[in-house]
């Protein structure tokens, strides 16, 4: 099921209406690991159950646990995680908190950026906007693949809306577009833990599979619609 998108000023806040909340949290309540929006076997053979178990149950869980421990008893405790990320972005003294908060948020966004029987091309308003800003969907695919493949080391590639224009951006390590005033629509995780068990060093194959078989364009379209509303 798609997310419902609420508005806080110009920024969308994503609330998963699937199996669980993306990041459940209120004042004095710890953020919890969300359930995947699909079964562990649902993405096979493109992403296997083993990869999802390690990626979700170990890596994502660790980021959330580390975040909860780091934010506890600070003046940010109980704040929405997006607000925490924006408040401390660029503050070297809070790099550990930022990294875990951003990785917790990024991973929740990534799980919703993929789905069984995904891939292909978007339709409707987002398709029109991609054609307008990139020249064609094919041009977008080429640029997106290049960004994801050339992200040195760990990181992410994103389709974002930035001041009314669709752009492709890549972020290193835990960095995230929401720390830079951009609205993310879709992301691919290119940390090795996202693909190495299934693709080893063949990152380009994983990226092509994401585009052709996994990308959740319904999610991206909903994010775009909310951003321009």
Annotated binding site for Mn(2+): 55, 107, 189, 193
Task: Report residue 25 as tokens.
Answer: 């949290």
Please give the Cα distance from 72 to 154 (Å, whole number).
Answer: 27
């Amino acid at each position: 099921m798609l997310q419902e998108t609420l508005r806080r000023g110009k920024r969308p806040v994503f609330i998963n209406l699937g199996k669980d909340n993306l990041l459940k949290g209120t004042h004095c309540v710890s953020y919890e690991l969300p359930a995947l929006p699909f079964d562990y076997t649902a993405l096979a053979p493109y992403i296997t159950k083993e990869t999802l178990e390690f990626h979700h149950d170990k890596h994502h869980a660790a980021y959330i646990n580390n975040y909860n421990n780091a934010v506890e008893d600070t003046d940010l405790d109980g704040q929405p995680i997006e607000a925490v990320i924006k408040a401390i972005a660029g503050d070297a003294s809070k790099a550990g908190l930022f990294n875990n908060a951003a990785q917790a948020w990024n991973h929740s966004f990534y799980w919703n950026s993929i789905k069984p029987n995904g891939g292909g091309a978007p339709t409707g308003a987002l398709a029109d906007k991609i054609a307008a800003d990139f020249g064609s969907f094919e041009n977008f695919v080429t640029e997106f693949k290049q960004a994801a493949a050339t992200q040195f080391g760990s990181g992410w590639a994103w389709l974002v809306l930035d001041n009314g224009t669709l752009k492709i951006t890549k972020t290193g390590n835990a960095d995230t577009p929401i720390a830079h005033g951009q609205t993310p629509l879709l992301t691919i995780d290119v940390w090795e833990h996202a693909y190495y068990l299934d693709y080893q060093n063949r990152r380009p194959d994983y990226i092509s599979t994401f585009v052709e078989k996994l990308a959740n364009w319904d999610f991206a379209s909903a994010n775009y619609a909310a951003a321009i509303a």
